[in-house]
Structure 1
Amino acid sequence: MNVPWLFWHRRDLRLADNLGLAQLAERTTAVTGLVVLEPGVWEGPEAAPSRLWFLLTSVAELQQAWRHIGSQLLVLQGDPLQHVPRLVARLGVAGLAFNEDVEPGPRQRDDQLQRVLLRQGVAVQRSWDQLLVPPERVKAGSGEPYKVYGHYRRAWFNQAKARPVAAPRRLTGPDHVRLATAARTLPLLQRLPTPAELGCSWRGRSPCRPGEQAARQQLDAFVDGALSRYEPERNYPGRKGTSCLSAALRFGTVGPRTVWHASQEAMATRGQESVEAQQAITVWQQELAWREFYQQALFHFPALAEGAFRTRWRRFPWHNQPERFAAWCEARTGYPIVDAAMTQLLRTGWMHNRCRMIVASFLTKDLICDWRWGEAFFMQHLVDGDPAANNGGWQWSASSGMDPRPLRIFNPAAQAARFDEDGDYIRRWLPELASCETADLLSGRIAPLERRGYPERLVDHRQQQALFRQLYATHVRGEA
């Protein structure tokens, strides 16, 4: 019997390679899509205008895709715990399907929602989609989840990975009489709001393009071009050496199986051209493993969302000087590579990964500011802001997370000299320094007449490094 169901899109804003949707389409073709715009997306302390723009643009395209296959994508605004059970009842559907999340808040919400729906006699289908390997599947011999990336990566690579699944070709939408009744009593949107209408205007230019079609185009262009040079090009922020698919993976406008399969096809073809190309593709696959490592870490250790993984870091005496933190946020530290990276973030909602490590190290090790301040600031601006990846990256930089190396400090000048040797990246984002000598630009030792309003160094790296090491030796060293 072709009974009607709802499919709730969350971090899977696409039709193709959507495991939960494909599984549902096998049991019924009477499927209506659903997106819930929760207030926290634009009102919460970590709401980012760039992410709202990416989300709304992707949902608009997804609505068209649902119409193209004969059904409809409903958009509900508000608390899903309050409104989804009512919508299910009004539409008279037999069940609700959705893909799982690793974050503690959504997991608790999903469990609560499932209990409510089951009491209503409504079936619930939950599937794993956002990861190539579900988090429960990769564990150490002891049965415990992995806490070290290297061990996890080796086990992860040995796991079988499913091939992409096709999008449903034809589905039928909701009963129009029931839908009209629901629309009168529930906050179903007749049209999508703009970010400005929600108080989150976004005028930046992001290298991450929203929507399923754009994600596929970016993936194809990357595989055909920069992938074979990914190592070492990925380390140079002034070059186009990365895929810029981070937001697509975060919102699910591209499926992880699609990405993995593209890398496997590239290995079978371009990987045979040279050892360098093979190594580059392998390194990109390892980055996909990093993504899944952080996702499974948050799944197994939800306390990561609240603080440091390592116990002694929870008592670290951060200096937390607001004026220094503000200078970091506003790209006024006097260290060109740091300020160029922060300017890129503020203007585009995105930052090159090498620069994310540089600015995070600078905030925690030079300004001695709590990494959670930087984590929150990133979430307020990043178009690809993902709680698991963002938390994992910041704890890696702060040395407070799942990392066997006890302490890591980046020298901003040394990083700039190594990865922006001609100063192209700095000059792009700090044009006021374009006429400076490259050596001065990289070191940050710029003569007063050349500054053109650019600030002097906020702190001395060598002095702050020594101070941080002293604090570390007193409060942290020795923790396993």
Structure 2
Amino acid sequence: MAPERWLFWHRRDLRLADNLGLAAAAAATPAVTGLYVLDPAIVADPLMAPARAWFLCESLRELAARWRAAGSRLLILRGDPAALVPLAAQAAGAAVVAWNREVEPYGRERDRQVAAALRGQGTRVLVDWDQLLVAPEAIRTGAGEPYRVYGPFLRNWRGQVEGRAARGAGSAGSLEPVAAPSGLLDLDPGALQGERASLWEALPRLDAMPSAEELGFSFSGADLCPCRPGEAAALSQLQAFADGGVNGGPLTAYEPGRNLPGEAGTSGLSAALSFGTLSPRQAWAAAREARALARSTEALTSIGVWEQELAWREFYQQALFHFPELADGPYRPQWRHFPWEDDPVRLRAWEEGLTGLPIIDAAMRQLNESGWMHNRCRMIVASYLVKDLIIDWRHGERAFMVRLVDGDLAANNGGWQWSASSGMDPRPLRIFNPSTQAAKFDPEATYIRRWLPELAHVATADLISGDIAPLERRGHPAPIVSHKIQQARFKALYAALPRG
């Protein structure tokens, strides 16, 4: 008797290795077919960045090849998942459709619709968490509430993660990554008969994953982007970053290397974690291995800081899961009344990297050309937009989403609300001085010169301060605002906000 056919529906888990939903499917039956639905609601979204379209398309090309190597196939459809996933299940004769859960409001509602349609036609559904080390429902305060502050969240989260990491491989809830499935049994479309054959022919199948250009996106920054698409590249980058803790890889110098945009001190894995070409368990396992081999206090500190960054990622995701209204506005209610000035000329200057402050303009140049920006610079440019230009943080959030290769609703929204002081942060009025930040984290102006080569001749001190003589600017604009004046103005507007 032929084994039961299952479908595994990929979304933000574009890999075969350590994919918990796929592993569960492969443990139940070798007859597993992969499915990806190119959803117009995502691909045609005005916020879809060309860099993300590139990363998605290239990752899916590799994923399809991996499915073939495992013995089966990745079925790629184009259309509405609510209609196509149930139709694909009928055509394939699938008894079960499995997938991994999501935190974003759109994805959760889409999944509810798909699950209802599948159950309505008699197809079973298997869903669980994969993109988080600790599920949102499993981490609560002592009062049973979701966490609103990172510090207490981190302590609870780390305790749970380390407890699970101590369990042996194969134990329930273990964090040990699982191998990719192999020896799968492919679906033979030629053997389909009757209604199933007709349904199969009716599926809007793509014989091959189109390129980003074929989908209407133009991205010329692939060579500049540190995030590399595909499962193989993600694992290679993780290995190079973690380096086993032996040869002094970037992970063992992550603190302070992570804050120096002129150096290659970060992992470059943000897009891999967002798209799921890498699992958080693989990232955690690499950190654990590096910790076991580390031989200095500095290395151990650096590894711990990177683990905290993984926790920040999960904090923002659990926040969006429990408070989906964060996607639409500020967490702190008084910010709904802030009198933003929203000068469109200043906003455009910020977006185009023409504010006259070299550290701001270099960061925006990096974003516009590579589809990525160093995290320290994300904080600097966000603070500048909100608290120097006095522009609503949501304009910045949108500007990032239409450009970032790692644009992730939870992380991007969380980061912008942190910078704007409108989010879950016990220190609500944080203001960065751009020149002070540049002096501290790019003291030789290495990063500034990299992205603003037209100003490479300018003295380092002037590049950091932005106080550049007109002739030295060679067409680059003078600062459009004074930080000292704008900081005072912002504080006065904040002080006048209604409380309560």
Q: Aligning the two structures, in what range does the TM-score lie when normalised by the shorter sequence?
A: over 0.9
Q: Which runs of 5+ in 2 are unaligned?
A: 166-174, 244-248
Partner of 2:149: 148
- Among all aligned residue pairs of Structure 1 and Structure 2, give the percentage whose two residues are the same amino acid: 59
The separation in 2 between residues aligned to 1:122 and 1:186, in whole angstroms, is 18
The separation in 2 between residues aligned to 1:382 and 1:296, in whole angstroms, is 21
Select 1:203's aligned residue among 216, 220, 225: 220
Secondary structure (helix, strand or coil) at the match of 1:422 reads: coil
Partner of 1:55: 56
Select 1:342's aligned residue among 341, 354, 364: 364
Secondary structure (helix, strand or coil) at the match of 1:389 reads: helix
Report deviation, 1:55.
0.5
The separation in 1 between residues aligned to 2:159 and 2:217, in whole angstroms, is 43
The CA deviation string for residues 405-455 of structure 1, in whole angstroms up to 9 with x for no partner, is 020100000000110000010001001110001110000000001001101
Q: Does 1:267 align with 2:291?
A: yes
The CA deviation string for residues 236-258 of structure 1, in whole angstroms up to 9 with x for no partner, is 00001000000000000011101
The separation in 2 between residues aligned to 1:69 and 1:342, in whole angstroms, is 42
The separation in 2 between residues aligned to 1:42 and 1:28, in whole angstroms, is 32
Partner of 1:228: 252
**One-letter identity of the residue aligned with 1:173:** D
**One-letter identity of the residue aligned with 1:71:** S
Report deviation, 1:100.
0.2
Select 1:442's aligned residue among 464, 469, 479: 464
Select 2:424's aligned residue among 376, 393, 402: 402
On the 8 A contact 2:91/2:200 being kept in 1, the answer is no
**One-letter identity of the residue aligned with 1:55:** L
Secondary structure (helix, strand or coil) at the match of 1:75 reads: strand
On the 8 A contact 2:91/2:197 being kept in 1, the answer is no
Partner of 2:233: 214
**One-letter identity of the residue aligned with 1:319:** E
Q: Does 1:165 align with 2:182?
A: no
Secondary structure (helix, strand or coil) at the match of 1:374 reads: helix
Partner of 2:113: 112
Report deviation, 1:203.
1.1
Q: Which moved more, 1:181-190 or 1:95-104?
A: 181-190
On the 8 A contact 2:47/2:402 being kept in 1, the answer is yes
Report deviation, 1:24.
1.0
- Mapping of residues 31-430 of structure 1, within 5 Å: 31-159=32-160, 160-161=164-165, 162-177=175-190, 178=192, 181-204=198-221, 205-224=224-243, 225-270=249-294, 273-430=295-452
The separation in 2 between residues aligned to 1:181 and 1:33, in whole angstroms, is 20
The CA deviation string for residues 204-227 of structure 1, in whole angstroms up to 9 with x for no partner, is 031100000000000000011101
The separation in 2 between residues aligned to 1:189 and 1:19, in whole angstroms, is 26
Report deviation, 1:314.
1.3
Report deviation, 1:470.
0.5
Q: Which moved more, 1:106-115 or 1:337-346?
A: 106-115
On the 8 A contact 2:100/2:127 being kept in 1, the answer is yes
The CA deviation string for residues 83-135 of structure 1, in whole angstroms up to 9 with x for no partner, is 21112112211111000000011101101111111010000000100001111
Report deviation, 1:42.
3.2
Report deviation, 1:180.
6.0
On the 8 A contact 1:41/1:52 being kept in 2, the answer is no
Secondary structure (helix, strand or coil) at the match of 1:188 reads: coil
Report deviation, 1:40.
3.3
The separation in 2 between residues aligned to 1:452 and 1:181, in whole angstroms, is 66
On the 8 A contact 1:91/1:175 being kept in 2, the answer is no
The separation in 2 between residues aligned to 1:318 and 1:78, in whole angstroms, is 39
Secondary structure (helix, strand or coil) at the match of 2:228 reads: coil
TM-score by length of 2: 0.94
On the 8 A contact 1:20/1:129 being kept in 2, the answer is yes
The separation in 1 between residues aligned to 2:198 and 2:74, in whole angstroms, is 17
On the 8 A contact 2:88/2:200 being kept in 1, the answer is no
Partner of 2:168: none
Q: Which runs of 5+ in 1 are unaligned?
A: none
The separation in 2 between residues aligned to 1:293 and 1:344, in whole angstroms, is 27
The CA deviation string for residues 317-345 of structure 1, in whole angstroms up to 9 with x for no partner, is 11111111111100010110000000000
The separation in 2 between residues aligned to 1:121 and 1:180, in whole angstroms, is 19
On the 8 A contact 1:42/1:48 being kept in 2, the answer is no
The separation in 2 between residues aligned to 1:314 and 1:165, in whole angstroms, is 46
Secondary structure (helix, strand or coil) at the match of 1:196 reads: coil
**One-letter identity of the residue aligned with 2:240:** A
The separation in 2 between residues aligned to 1:181 and 1:211, in whole angstroms, is 33
The separation in 1 between residues aligned to 2:200 and 2:445, in whole angstroms, is 56
Secondary structure (helix, strand or coil) at the match of 2:430 reads: coil
Report deviation, 1:184.
2.5
C-alpha RMSD over aligned residues: 1.1
The separation in 1 between residues aligned to 2:241 and 2:197, in whole angstroms, is 44
Report deviation, 1:169.
1.7
The separation in 2 between residues aligned to 1:175 and 1:108, in whole angstroms, is 32
Secondary structure (helix, strand or coil) at the match of 1:197 reads: coil
The separation in 2 between residues aligned to 1:78 and 1:412, in whole angstroms, is 45
**One-letter identity of the residue aligned with 1:250:** S
Aligned length: 476
Q: Which moved more, 1:460-469 or 1:174-183?
A: 174-183
On the 8 A contact 2:385/2:396 being kept in 1, the answer is yes
